[in-house]
Structure formats: C-alpha cells, structure tokens
Structure 1
Amino acid sequence: MTLDAVRESRPVWDPLVRVFHWSLVACVLLNLFVVEDGEWLHQWLGYGAAVLVGVRVVWGFIGSRHARFSDFFPTPRRLLQHLRALRRGDVEHHWGHNPLGGLMALALMATVLALGVTGWMQSLDAFWGVEWLQDLHEALGEALMPLVGVHAAAAIVMGRIERTRLVKAMLTGVKERY
C-alpha cells in the first residue's frame, strides 16, 4: 500500500493520548515479563500505571476532541448500532474510537486502576496479608492480559475491516483511511 492509496487522513490522537498509551503498555509489559511480583519495581510500575490512568481520566474530560469520553463513550445505543452494522457487513467509520474500542479502552483503564488500588491497599496495615485482597489483585492481573490481547488483535482486525491504520495512528497521531 503506497501513500498514494491513502484517501483521507486526519490528526486524531494528541501527544498526551499517545504518551499515555505507550507508557501504559511499557508498565504492563515490564510487570508481566520482567519484574517479579512484590518487588519494589513491580509496585512502582503499578503506581505509575495508576497515575497514568488518572491523568488519562482527567484528559477524558478536558482533552482534545477524540480524547474526550463524550466522543467515544459506549452507550448501549451506540454499541447496538455498531454491532448491527458489523453483522450486516457495513463499515462504519469513526475517526476516534468505535463503540467497541471505547468499551475496551474503559475496561482496560478500569482494570489497571483497580490493580493499582488493590496493590496499594495490600501495603496498608489494615489489609496487610488479607488473602481475599491478594486473590482479587492476582485475578485482576490475570484478567488484564486477555483484555490486552483482545485489544491488540482488535486494533489489527478492525483496522483491516475499517480500512484504517490504527496502530500507525497510535504512533503518529494521524489516522489514515485507505
């Protein structure tokens, strides 16, 4: 596919959204593949991830157009409309997140934030060694990885279906339709 084949492009993801995304990817991957559970680096990467999500939540209300939750909040109506269009084979174009992408973004942010909170709670005297909290933290960590896998696969598949370069857009900030 040459650049001549690009029909339309538009700046979509601002620098804060892209830095948030790739920094969160780094925190998650480092905690998954490099750092041992319970190590100080595991804890600080978790706190860093939670802070990133906190900043992103604020940006979801005051940020650029496609960063705002109002642009992609997955209401039941939006989700149903999108799912029906997919089932019919209609390709809906969304410059920002499509409704399923919005749902996934919110699910990922909620899971990372819950991991940060449950991890922090384990450091408090009131919850030190509490088994249900440790189990919840571990279950959230195990739930995060399938979510990440579905997110990554969906970015590739939906990019093909919608004829957009989603992964490239998360690097450059410019979404291209071809």
Structure 2
Amino acid sequence: MNVTASTRGTLVQVWSPYVRLFHWSLVLCVAVAWLSSGEIMKVHELAGYSAGVLITSRLIAGLAGSGHTRFHQFVHGPRAVGLYLSDVAKGDEKRYLGHNPAGGAMVLALLACVAGIALTGWMQTTDTWWGVGWVEDTHKILGNGILVLIGLHVGGVLLASLRHGENLVRAMVTGRKRAPSPEDVA
C-alpha cells in the first residue's frame, strides 16, 4: 500500500486554538494600527497596545507551550534556513508539518518587528521619549517594514501552498493539515 496516498486525505491537528487566535488577532491589530496611523490616534494606540499584549503572550507560549507552539519546534539556525531556501530555489524543499525553517525565521522577524513597533509607539507616549527623533523614525521605519515582512510572509505561504498542494491559509483557520508522509518533516 502506498503510504503517501493513504495519508493524502487524512488531516491532523497542527495549530492549536491559541496559535490560530493569536495569528488572526495579530493580523487584525496590525491592520487596524496601520490603517488608523495619523488619523484616529486612540484606535491606533489601542491596536498597538493590544499587539504588544499578544506578542508577550506568544513569547510565553513559545517558551512554555506545547507541540508546534514551542519555538524549539520550528526555530532553526541561519545555516538550516539558508539550506532550506537553497532547496526552495531548486524546487526541492521538503514539506514540514509545522513551520519550515524559512517560516520559523519569518515568525521571529514578524514578532520582533511588531514588538519594536509597539515599544517605540509606547515610548512616544512618555515624557522621556516624546518628540525624540530616533524613536519616531524607528517607529515609522518599522511600521513600513512590517508591510515588507507581511508581503514576504504571504508570498511564502502561497508558494508553499502551491508546491505542496495544501491550503495553508485554511490550515491556519481550521488548525488541521494533511498528515505527514514518510518524506515530510514532522
């Protein structure tokens, strides 16, 4: 019996309700903060503070959570990320049940960028840092930089979805992905 064929229709739970709620809540916070920037500052600040709370909870879950929530499950070193991207360029990358090495690096980049945006946004509300040029500049640079990261993230999700015949957006909604075959990385 072909194991690959037998697992093709079987779905397994990968993303916990927490991870999915975190992901889509952060998407909402970033969108609201970006769209309200310079327009509705109370909404902008609330979205920023909410994003900061979400990032804090994700850091805790990444260290103390279980399964695919934990950082050690999907964070790889630069060499592994480089090798994975080389395989992508050759069209020879393995399918990962959780985040692939490039996806893990993107998670860290997105978390760091949003944390930096939230921190510099908060700093601008304090007497000490209000009106300090580099704080404002950093907030703006990171605020625009997140758009680049989001574009790369969405592009990577679409590429992986096409290459592996799997709707990763749906997986982040339902939490389920196709069961791993023997050649996949679980």
1: CA distance, partners of 2:27 / 2:11: 25
The alignment status of 1:139 with 2:141, answered yes or no, reads: yes
Confirm or deny: 8 A CA contact 2:52 2:114 kept in the other structure.
yes
| Change in CA separation of 1:35 and 1:121 when aligned onto 2, cut-off 3 Å | closer
The alignment status of 1:66 with 2:44, answered yes or no, reads: no
Post-superposition shift, 1:153? Answer: 1.9
Which secondary structure state, in structure 2, belongs to the residue aligned with residue 95 of structure 1? coil
Post-superposition shift, 1:177? Answer: 6.2
Q: Extract structure 1 runs of 4+ deviating beyond 4 A.
A: none
- Aligned partner of 1:130 among 106, 109, 132: 132
For structure 1, the residue ranges without an aligned partner over 5 or more in a row are: none
For structure 2, the residue ranges without an aligned partner over 5 or more in a row are: 1-5, 181-186
Match of 2:183 in 1: none
Which secondary structure state, in structure 2, belongs to the residue aligned with residue 52 of structure 1? helix
Match of 2:3 in 1: none
Match of 1:83 in 2: 85
The alignment status of 1:101 with 2:106, answered yes or no, reads: no
Q: After the TM superposition, which of the residue ranges 155-164 and 78-87 deviates more from structure 2?
A: 78-87
Confirm or deny: 8 A CA contact 2:14 2:177 kept in the other structure.
yes
Which secondary structure state, in structure 1, belongs to the residue aligned with residue 38 of structure 2? coil
Aligned length in residues: 175
Cα displacement string for residues 62-104 of structure 1 (whole angstroms, at most 9, x for unaligned residues): 2121111111102123213312322332230111100000111
Q: After the TM superposition, which of the residue ranges 8-17 and 94-103 deviates more from structure 2?
A: 8-17
Confirm or deny: 8 A CA contact 1:20 1:56 kept in the other structure.
yes
Match of 1:27 in 2: 29
2: CA distance, partners of 1:5 / 1:34: 45
Which secondary structure state, in structure 2, belongs to the residue aligned with residue 125 of structure 1? coil
Q: After the TM superposition, which of the residue ranges 75-84 and 110-119 deviates more from structure 2?
A: 75-84
Q: After the TM superposition, which of the residue ranges 166-175 and 57-66 deviates more from structure 2?
A: 57-66
2: CA distance, partners of 1:54 / 1:79: 25
Confirm or deny: 8 A CA contact 1:163 1:177 kept in the other structure.
no
Confirm or deny: 8 A CA contact 2:34 2:44 kept in the other structure.
no
Cα displacement string for residues 146-165 of structure 1 (whole angstroms, at most 9, x for unaligned residues): 11111112111111112222
Match of 2:159 in 1: 157
So what's the TM-score if we normalise by structure 2?
A: 0.86
| Change in CA separation of 1:81 and 1:20 when aligned onto 2, cut-off 3 Å | same
| Change in CA separation of 1:38 and 1:55 when aligned onto 2, cut-off 3 Å | same
- Aligned partner of 1:174 among 173, 176, 181: 176
2: CA distance, partners of 1:102 / 1:172: 20
